[in-house]
Each structure stands twice: as C-alpha cells, then as structure tokens.
Amino acid sequence: MNTEPSRDFYPPALQCPSMHCDARPKPDNVSLLVIHNISLPPNQFGGKHIEAFFCGKLDKNIHPYFSEIAEMRVSAHCLIKRNGEIIQFVPFTQRAWHAGKSSFQGRSICNDYSIGIELEGADHIAYTPIQYASLVKLSHYLMLLFPQIKLSRIVGHCDIAPERKTDPGPMFDWSFYRQCLVAL
C-alpha cells in the first residue's frame, strides 16, 4: 500500500475539477506559492460564484460584473472560503491559470512553476482566522510535497505582477502567516 502523499490532490479539499489548466512544461519544477484573493461579486462573500467562474460556468446574467468576466478562462489550484473550507480545482502537478503575465526573480510565466491559492476575500477586508489556519496547513503540506517552495518563495500576486495586481492586499497579515508556518 502506497503511503506517500498525493502530489496531485490535498486530501481534505473538496474536489471541483476545472478544465482551465494544462500540462506544466516541467512538472517536477514547482518552486513558488502565490497567494491571491477573489470575491464574486466584488467585496461580497458566499455562494458558488467563484467555483462557477473557475470552472467556466459563471452565469453572466446573475450580476452586471459577471458579464465582464464570464468568458475569461482562469483558475487556481485551490480556493479557501471564508469558513476555512478548501476547494481544489486543479491538480498540483498541472498548470493552473492564475498568475497571468508575471515574473519572479527574473523568471517569467509564473504559472509554469507555481501553485496558486485563492483566499475568498478582498484587499481591504480582513481575512478570517479559520482562513489563516487552513492556509497554513495547506501551505505546510505543499512545502513538504515540493521542497523547492521555501518561505522566501511564498508571495502575493502583487509581488509577481506589481503593475497589474494588488492582492492579497494590505489586510493580509504576512507576519502572522509566516510565524504560523515556522511554528509547524
């Protein structure tokens, strides 16, 4: 019996497969963790709109903003809801489409070598304690699976696309998050 942890899936996560992904150019080269935020509609929480968006099933008629984004083909590996629930859309060994035009330490196309984690949230709204707890556990799991991911290689979307993105925003407590990770 194989007791190795899966390099594809996080066991506690609810699986919600997205077709918005493809093969990584070098599957064994995962070395970056990118933290994002998302809320649909903007600054509103709850419901299944994020899941529908990442799976290409967002109904553009539900909200005016949705008509602007419904045709976009984006995804993340995982989403952490406000209640701490984790939903996984893309296997970690696949390339999710979360970073867009991006660069880290002189290396472009971050989607090729990163894992994208979305927090249900907004730049100027505090994240919940249970979200941090879930993020710390998931991050620790990923750091064990992909040893090239070190604390110095856990960044925000704002760090890899500073001209375009601001997430996870000023309300994300990097110090607290890193302290929790180090304590594990």
**Annotated active-site positions, please?**
118
Measured in residues, the chain has a length of 184
Through-space distance between the first and last CA atoms of the chain, rounded to whole angstroms: 27
- The residue with tokens 């093969």 is 23
